[in-house]
Amino acid sequence: MNLTCRKVTEILVDFVDGSLPEEERDTLERHLCGCVPCAIYLRTYHDTIILTKSLPNVPLPPEFLTRLKTMFAKECGQQG
């Protein structure tokens, strides 16, 4: 399997959560050993997960939630 940096970004979540098949995991680990940008990306991705898990569970302000839902609905409507 030839692994590109773009493919790394597509399979990274499966790698981090441990659900990536062994052959793909081995290929990814070899890629990470030789690709500094992807290794940095993985570290940043992992650090982001750790930081977001440590955030307090605070509800969004109602105005922000309304704006977010409106933006999401608009984007989904344009995509569909």
At residue 60, the pLDDT reads 87
| Mean pLDDT score, 43-70 | 93
> Which of these CATH numbers, 1.10.40, 1.25.40, 3.40.50, 1.10.10, describes 5-79?
1.10.10
Whether residue 79 is predicted with pLDDT greater than 70 in this model: the reply is no
Whether residue 80 is predicted with pLDDT greater than 50 in this model: the reply is no
Residue 8 near residue 30 (C-beta atoms within 8 A): no
φ/ψ (deg, to 5) at 20:
-75, 130
| Mean pLDDT score, 14-37 | 94
At residue 1, the pLDDT reads 65
| pTM as predicted | 0.66
